[in-house]
A = this chain, B = another copy of it.
């Protein structure tokens, strides 16, 4: 399976900011927006500030907003304001995939996977409310990937299953990924290097999600596994850790796996292109891009 690259950005290109998921804190958003505006021309409407329960407005409004920027040739990339929850609700209503890079993570995983299911690459990277808290090298890497420059390999901290694997990088947030099992929005994971990160999920829930992947047969043929951050997943007063629970899952699968990559809900969320071919060297705990994000 190969995934088509979206087009490269150039400085000062118009980029859209949308809010298909949860409502957000304005100051964090403004901080990320200011960073984005140092390089591109962000455009958005007041709609993104709407709130409906745990959603950034009603489904029909969030879906229309997203479809409009997907259809707008003047938009060169699409940035998510925030994650949270809600993008999977829009999947039947929007037509994803195409030459504009989609940028986000966490709840955006639903949009990423649906984009890959339609054959396109996209960018796992901070949402705007997270971007302002990131280190400068994260922001530089984001711009480099969007503009087609090569980036350094990422380093993990732990070998879980030794070996080397190559394949397109797919995945992201484990909770969101597994909520697409049995739906038309999850691409086949056969041959891929599977990226997994999560936040605020107790160890038994991580176990349950991985078990779901297993029972659904979704892990058949997966070439390798990359564990990013498991932020706030510790069980209070437990003698076991989230790491040990997921390590055991990966060992059961038995393909090369390394953990501790700086990808996810931590202070450092390095961008990685989804659908692009990568090489995971689990022995050396290194994730190297064999393809970029863009043409």
Give A contacts to B, CB under 8 Å. Answer: 22, 53-54, 84-85, 88-89, 91-92, 178-185, 203-204, 207-209, 211-212, 215-218, 235, 238-240, 245
Contacts and interface: CB of A to CB of B under 8 A. Distances in A.
A88 B208 contact: yes
Given A181-B182, A183-B212, A54 B88 contact: no
Contacts of A88: 208, 211-212, 215
A240 B207 contact: no
B182 A245 contact: no
Contacts of A54: 203-204, 207, 235, 240
User: What is the oligomeric copy number?
Assistant: 2
Nearest to A205: B85
11 contacts: A53-B203, A53-B238, A53-B240, A53-B245, A54-B207, A88-B215, A89-B207, A89-B211, A181-B182, A183-B216, A183-B217
A232 B275 CA distance: 40
A239 B204 CA distance: 30
A218 B181 CA distance: 12
A165 B240 CA distance: 46
A118 B217 CA distance: 19
A11 B238 CA distance: 42
Given A54-B204, A85-B204, A212 B179 contact: yes
B208 A179 contact: yes
A184 B216 CA distance: 7
Contacts of A183: 181-182, 212, 215-217
A216 B216 CA distance: 12
A180 B216 CA distance: 8
Contacts of A207: 54, 85, 89
Contact of A182 (B203, B208, B209, B216): B216
A156 to B, nearest CB: 24
A185 B215 contact: yes
